[in-house]
């Protein structure tokens, strides 16, 4: 069901500061990132549907589907983020999976609360992944 699958945003996203930090990685150490993103339709997404995702890779020739297939076939991980049952609020949770082959893996879950919980968890997701990649860049 396409509606239940959520929106997968292909890359590169012009507004994605995460993708801008991929330049430091070589062909041998590709970076794969899958992160949630505040739902494009905000409060109109139905209960128990998947949160929208942004799929990125330092290899710009790979499609979002190819990145997802590679992660699913290569790494023993799974991730999912569903909206709860509150029809009056957006999904307040966020997640990030960021893997640099032969270097590191960063997994994050961000639990939002309150009227702006979705914005707080989304900002935490963005800042943590950005800062981690930035520090990896400065330490080599």
Token pair, residue 138, equals 């400065």
Per-residue pLDDT at 109 exceeds 90: yes
Q: pLDDT digits over 123-134, tens only?
A: 999 899 888 888
Chain segment 30-45, per-residue pLDDT in tens: 888 898 888 766 556 7
pLDDT at position 2 over 50: no
């Amino acid at each position: 069901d396409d509606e239940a699958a959520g929106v997968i945003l292909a890359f590169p996203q012009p507004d994605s500061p995460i993708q801008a930090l991929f330049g430091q990685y070589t062909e041998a150490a590709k970076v794969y990132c899958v992160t949630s993103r505040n739902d494009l339709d905000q409060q109109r997404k139905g209960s128990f549907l998947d949160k929208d995702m942004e799929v990125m890779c330092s290899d710009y020739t790979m499609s979002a589907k190819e990145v997802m297939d590679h992660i699913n076939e290569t790494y023993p991980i799974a991730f999912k983020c569903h909206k709860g049952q509150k029809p009056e609020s957006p999904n307040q949770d966020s997640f990030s999976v960021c893997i640099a082959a032969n270097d590191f893996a960063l997994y994050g879950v961000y639990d939002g609360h309150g009227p702006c919980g979705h914005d707080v968890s989304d900002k935490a997701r963005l800042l943590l992944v950005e800062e981690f990649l930035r520090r990896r860049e400065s330490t080599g």
